[in-house]
A and B are shown apart, each in its own frame.
Chain A
């Protein structure tokens, strides 16, 4: 990984995701910090990224690296954690039954993905599908059925739906621009995840049946970085 990517591109992308992910437009602009559950999901996502080989933390923070590079790498990890939390916060509905359902949905999906341990490419595809589906559900489907400015027939249906679901399904309407901001935020986040450094090599460990990536030694890491830079 080049120094520009590690010190400039990744932090800039991830901090932009942190900024936009918590932005809410409801007449006024508000920046909302992630709820506790989003932090839990972010930890699970980081664990899944590491397990699948989409992220090699030793290529960001390792004793063999120069101190300045370790600080850069540490900031990338911190920004990745915060951005992950804000992305989950962004695509989760704000209230009611959909919010609860999405929390369970994300938790089960992440645990399942972590347990199945897909490779890097499959994990990136999987994340695109997870966040893409959540985006469509929240910003297109739920937004459409919660839109108070729609026609009379739709408003009547909305009242009926509210009655049947005891008001647990419909959401507070939000500014139309928020959907576009959310789309951009998700695109930036997925781009940043794709740019994270993968492990330099993976060895099969005899006592773990090849499930875990082996940790390279300091010498292997330095040599690997040098070879990759030369390529």
Chain B
């Protein structure tokens, strides 16, 4: 092999390896699935498991939120799909919603998930066309979760008892 070939191959390998190291530092993947998913999504080849996603949606519509999240996580093991992350956030919202008060822990997890979804979405915009949902965009969901986590005078308004889950 000529010296020039070795140098070009070495340069390409170094740039690729350096990009991988930089990507790992930037994205902090926790599992091998996240590493492979992140790399495949970088080249536009990442796909969610449609069957698991459909199962998750079925659980979600039956108000089986823990089961729904397990299915969603199976559908998007690399945490790269904004719509699946949106549904995960929505499941935390619905599970944590209460007429008298909301569950702060679940809302906080929902907020993390919706932030993740916004980060993953192109231009940060997610609109889900699902008639079952009262909030179809990530902005509405995020605002609702943030409002649930805030302590304010309106929390003591008796009219809150009449509100509906979205």
Binding site for B on A (CB under 8 A): 3-4, 6-8, 11-12, 15, 18-19, 22, 28-31, 33, 68-69, 71-72, 75, 79
**Is the beta-carbon distance between B7 and A68 smaller than 8 angstroms?**
yes
Closest to B14 in A: A11
B124 an interface residue at 8 Å Cβ cutoff?
no
Q: Which of B7, B17, B29, B30 contacts A15 (CB 8 A)?
A: B17
Q: Which of B6, B13, B28 contacts A31 (CB 8 A)?
A: B28
Assembly CA distance A3 to B13 (angstroms): 14
Q: Which of A3, A11, A33 contacts B17 (CB 8 A)?
A: A11
**Count of chain B residues with a beta carbon within 8 Å of a chain A beta carbon:** 19
Binary flags per residue of B1-22, CB closer than 8 Å to A gives 1, else 0 = 0011011111101110110010
Assembly CA distance A122 to B70 (angstroms): 58
Q: Which of B13, B24, B28, B29 contacts A11 (CB 8 A)?
A: B13
Assembly CA distance A18 to B23 (angstroms): 12
**Is the beta-carbon distance between B28 and A30 smaller than 8 angstroms?**
yes
**Is the beta-carbon distance between A22 and B17 smaller than 8 angstroms?**
no
Closest to A75 in B: B14
Assembly CA distance A42 to B4 (angstroms): 31
**Is the beta-carbon distance between A11 and B10 smaller than 8 angstroms?**
yes
Chain A residues lying within 8 Å of B28, measured Cβ to Cβ, are 30-31
Closest to B18 in A: A15
**Is the beta-carbon distance between A29 and B25 smaller than 8 angstroms?**
no
Min CB gap A29→B, angstroms: 6
**Is the beta-carbon distance between B18 and A72 smaller than 8 angstroms?**
no
Q: Given A15-B18, A28-B30, A68-B7 in contact, is the A8-B13 Cβ separation under 8 Å?
A: yes
**Is the beta-carbon distance between A68 and B21 smaller than 8 angstroms?**
no
Assembly CA distance A15 to B23 (angstroms): 13
Closest to A22 in B: B25
Assembly CA distance A71 to B24 (angstroms): 24
Assembly CA distance A31 to B6 (angstroms): 31
Residue contacts A-B, CB under 8 angstroms, 21 given: A3-B10, A4-B10, A7-B7, A7-B11, A8-B9, A8-B10, A8-B13, A11-B14, A11-B18, A12-B13, A15-B18, A15-B21, A19-B21, A31-B24, A33-B25, A68-B7, A68-B11, A69-B7, A71-B11, A72-B11, A75-B18
